[in-house]
């Protein structure tokens, strides 16, 4: 559970969707969001953060490796300490335990190991890869109506996967 929190960027575009009604002038004419320089700049800034965040996750997964079932290691073979406070405290895996290692396996092309480490790891890794393309497109196009819909779908998909992941974790806990 090292990389996943990075995805929850505070200004992820899904949290910065403008109201559907655009800015209106004094005489009631509407100005499209991208014609407003302040909003357009804000959209580009959140696109850059989105792009950097998703790229950093993929890059880190490619740089890091795993040495044993629980260890994440730096390129020189130096093991990183366990970061999951839940597992350290209770000795039980949290819902996201194994995601970092799963991402690392995915970045190294070890798909079976990635799925074995966390059942949602491969899907979330692909989701992260898609974010790079989405963020680049968002930077180029700005918050068009199409992108607004795309961002909503994107956020709903992540929320659904997270909810399913939590349910699966709860079921496993009580078993």
CB 3 within 8 A of CB 103: yes
Nearer to Zn ion, 60 or 94 (CB): 94
Nearer to Zn ion, 33 or 165 (CB): 165
Q: Name the one range near Zn ion by CB under 5 A: 45-53, 80-88, 124-132, 140-148.
A: 80-88
Nearer to Zn ion, 100 or 131 (CB): 100
User: Radius of gyration over alpha carbons of the chain, in Å?
Assistant: 19
CB of 174 to Zn ion, least distance (A): 18
Which of 97, 123, 124, 165 binds Zn ion (CB under 5 A)? It is 97
Nearer to Zn ion, 49 or 94 (CB): 94
How many Å apart are CA 36 and CA 3, to the nearest integer? 35
Percentage helix, strand, coil for the chain under 3-state DSSP, each rounded to 5: 65, 5, 30
Nearer to Zn ion, 1 or 123 (CB): 1
Query: Among residues 61, 31, 36, 42, which one has the least CA distance to residue 132?
Result: 61
Binding status of residue 134 toward Zn ion by CB under 5 A: no
Number of residues that bind Zn ion (CB under 5 A): 6
Binding status of residue 1 toward Zn ion by CB under 5 A: yes
Q: Characterize the bridge pairing of strands 65-66 and 72-73.
A: antiparallel
How many Å apart are CA 160 and CA 169, to the nearest integer? 14
Which of 56, 94, 116, 141 binds Zn ion (CB under 5 A)? It is 94
Binding status of residue 84 toward Zn ion by CB under 5 A: yes
Which residues are CB-contacts of 144 (< 8 A; sequence separation ≥ 6)? 34
Please, which of residues 106-125 interact with Zn ion by CB under 5 A?
none
Residues of this chain that bind Zn ion (CB under 5 A): 1, 84, 86-87, 94, 97
């Amino acid at each position: 559970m090292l990389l996943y929190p990075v995805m929850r960027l505070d200004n992820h575009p899904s949290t910065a969707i403008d109201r559907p009604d655009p800015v209106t002038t004094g005489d009631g004419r509407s100005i499209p969001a991208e014609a407003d320089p302040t909003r357009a700049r804000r959209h580009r800034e959140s696109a850059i953060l989105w792009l950097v965040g998703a790229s950093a996750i993929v890059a880190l997964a490619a740089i890091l490796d795993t040495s044993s079932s629980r260890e994440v290691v730096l390129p020189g073979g130096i093991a990183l300490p366990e970061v999951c406070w839940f597992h350290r405290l209770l000795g039980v895996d949290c819902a996201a335990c194994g995601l970092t290692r799963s991402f690392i396996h995915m970045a190294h092309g070890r798909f079976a190991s990635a799925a074995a480490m966390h059942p949602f790891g491969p899907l979330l890794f692909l989701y992260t890869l898609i974010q790079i393309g989405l963020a680049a497109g968002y930077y180029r196009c700005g918050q068009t109506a199409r992108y607004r819909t795309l961002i909503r779908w994107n956020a709903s998909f992540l929320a659904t996967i997270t909810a399913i992941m939590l349910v699966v974790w709860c079921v496993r806990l009580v078993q």
